[in-house]
Amino acid sequence: DSMPALALGVEPTEPGVMNRHPRDKKTPFLTSREWMRIVYTGAFEALLTIIAYQLGCRFSHEVGMSMAFLTLSMLQLFAAVGFQSEHSSVFGLKAKEHPMLRLALAASTFLQVIVLVFPPLRSAFGLGVIPAMQWLEVLGLCIVMLLFIEAQKLIARMRHED
In the chain, the percentage of residues whose pLDDT exceeds 90 is 48
Question: Global pTM?
Answer: 0.80
Using DSSP's 3-state secondary structure scheme, residue 22 falls into: coil
d(CA 145, CA 149): 6
d(CA 106, CA 122): 20
DSSP 8-class letter at 43 = H
**Number of C-alpha atoms within 13 angstroms, CB side, residue 18?**
2
DSSP output for 48-65: HHHHHHHHHTTT-HHHHH
Find the angle CA(98)-CA(100)-CA(104) to the nearest 5 degrees.
120
Winning range, highest mean pLDDT, from 3-7, 99-103, 118-122 = 118-122
Helix ranges restricted to H, 2-131: 2-8, 32-56, 61-82, 99-117, 119-124
Residue 96: per-residue pLDDT? 67
Residue 64: per-residue pLDDT? 96
